[in-house]
Amino acid sequence: MGNFVEMLYEVMVRPQATMRVIAAWRPVKQAMAVFFISTTVTALMLHAALSGPGAGNLVMMAVGIHFFFGLITWILGAAVFNLVAEYFGGQANGMGLFATLGFTYWPKVFMAPVWAVAVFLPVGLRPWVWLTGGIAIAAWTILLTVIALRASHGLSAQRAVLTLLTPPLVIGVLLLLLLMMGIAALPWR
């Protein structure tokens, strides 16, 4: 388990047991390596997809935004999930969650083979392949995140799912309130 490469294998094959070990061991450097590899792969695909006539600086900007927001999401996500998990009765383990969440980026690298397969297919089929592959990888990532929350905070599956859903729900409600306040502030004639 001490080996980084073996850890990647275990995350794919035995995620629950591996995430528990990661949560306890907190290998932050390895988690950063996973984040960096996965974000580089997806950034290169983004670059290939957006490059084209007239794209110009846009591509580099998009790649930069991808890296920046990926990192911010990881750091803030760990902080917010740790807070929410504690609220739902989990034990505090911010660094353990940070490390486990880093490993949840691993499935994203599989978008590369999905895209590579898609380019050999007829143009009309490609969006469907991308969509199917994207949904499968997103589902895998969400599952790993739930496992990471359970492993790092000792939560039940239900509470882990609740922890995962709470931040987007709160943000959604806040946005809705802001929207309603904005509408209410409109001058009616």
Please work out, in degrees rounded to the nearest 5, the angle formed at the alpha carbon of residue 100 by the alpha carbons of 131 and 13. Answer: 65
Nearest distance from C-beta of residue 66 to another protein, angstroms: 13
CB of 75 to another protein, least distance (A): 25
Q: Is 2 in the site for another protein (CB under 8 A)?
A: no
64 binds another protein (CB under 8 A): no
CA 133, 137, 141: angle at the middle one, nearest 5?
A: 170
- Quick note: the x/- pattern for another protein over 123-142, rule CB under 8 A, is x--x----------------
Burial class (CB within 10 angstroms; exposed 0-12, middle 13-18, buried 19+) of 150: buried
- Termini Cα distance of the chain: 69
Structure tokens at 129: 């392949």
Task: Out of 21, 33, 62, 137, point to the residue binding another protein (CB under 8 A).
Answer: 62
Query: Per-residue x/- marks for another protein, 39-58, CB under 8 A?
Result: --x--xx-xxxxxxxxxxxx
Q: Which of residues 6-35 bind another protein (CB under 8 A)?
A: 6, 8-10
Q: Which residues contact 25 (CB under 8 A, 6 or more apart)?
A: 99
For residue 160, CA distances in Å to 20, 22, 38, 73 come to: 14, 17, 24, 18
Residues 148 to 167: which contact another protein by CB under 8 A? Answer: none
Alpha-carbon span 153 to 158, nearest angstrom: 13
Rounded-to-integer distance, Cα 69 and Cα 184, Å: 32
Q: Does 3 bind another protein (CB under 8 A)?
A: yes
Retrieve residue 159's tokens: 């509470």
**Which CB atom, from 5 or from 185, has the smaller least distance to another protein?**
5
Task: Confirm or reject binding of residue 113 to another protein (CB under 8 A).
Answer: yes
Size of the site for another protein (CB under 8 A): 34
Which one among 84, 109, 146, 164 touches another protein, defined by CB under 8 A? 109
Binding site for another protein (CB under 8 A): 3, 5-6, 8-10, 41, 44-45, 47-58, 61-62, 109-110, 112-113, 115-116, 119-120, 122-123, 126
